[in-house]
Amino acid sequence: MTITAERETKALKINLGLIILGVSVFLIIIFFLAPIIWQVLTSIKVNEDITAVPNVYIPSKITWEHYIELFQRKPFANYILNSALVSIISTLLCLGLGAPAAYVLARLKLPFEKIILVAILIITLFPYVLLFLGLLEIIKAIGLGNNYFALIIPYTAMNLPLTILVMRSFFQQLPKDLEDAAKVDGYETIPMLLKIVLPMTVPALVTTGILTFIFAWNEYIFALTFITEETMKTIPVATAQLGGATVFEIPYGAIAAATILATFPLVLLVLLFQRRIVQGLTAGAVKG
């Protein structure tokens, strides 16, 4: 009887622990998803439900008017293309410049290598907002205002250190014997890097590429200041500047619809490459 009672007690404790764990996970998920769900619901509510007191949590009517309004009142398609153009080009530049630099730092014995790595790390940790006034003067001096390169160049420079650090760590985990064998087969350094080494670092490339893309897509301060022409603005700036029919009207529905449209490409990107992202983030964490 005692053994049976002990088994039942252990089973009860295990079941209770699983229940607590499940409830905790559910509450955490709800906590993080609640703002997103609220934005989605707001974007499809009619204006009467949005401004109703007390709050209407579940819309009585569903409307797509706010999404249609975005494209009718503003060139929102241009904003999406602008953000995509700037983000994609800066991401490709980061990967194209960062991967070879990371390979050099991982494989070659450079003078002052530790100083270079410390400098890269410091730049990564440096608050970018402090560079704002200096960059503004440079943009004005060289006449890059209202030019996509006014965003592409700073975004590339800011994300390049992180790209180098992540890719260098990944290159260090690759067996050097493979590269030696490739050189014996007659491969030069650049063809070997392109045909053999880089295909093995796809998880790291995807991870750093997505992080760079997200930063460029969401950046606001530089895009607000360096681009003033309406048709060249990016999504964060355009969303922040959405106005109502009058000065005192705040278009909550249109703003919610704009944030959903701006967030959807990022969510889709992460879902498509989630396996690669996990591989890139965990690569090198455990050495065999």
The domain locations on the chain are 2-43, 75-282
The arithmetic mean of pLDDT across residues 234-251, rounded, is: 77
Residue 156 has pLDDT above 80, yes or no: yes
Please report, for the chain, how many H helices and E strands are present, in that order: 14, 0
Which is nearest to 90 in space by CA: 173, 163, 182, 196? Answer: 163
Average pLDDT of the chain, as a whole number: 83
Superfamily of domain 75-282, CATH level 4: MetI-like (1.10.3720.10)
Which is nearest to 158 in space by CA: 213, 203, 107? Answer: 213
Query: Picking from 86-100, 148-162, 212-226, 235-249, which range would have the lowest pLDDT averaged per residue?
Result: 235-249
Residue 154 has pLDDT above 70, yes or no: yes
Query: pLDDT at position 165, please?
Result: 87
Q: How far apart are CA 44 and CA 196, in angstroms?
A: 49
Q: Render pLDDT for 44-92 as a digit per residue (tens, 0 to 9).
A: 888 888 888 788 888 888 889 888 888 888 888 899 999 999 999 999 9
Query: pLDDT at position 218, please?
Result: 92
Q: Is 39 helix (H, G, I), strand (E, B) or coil?
A: helix
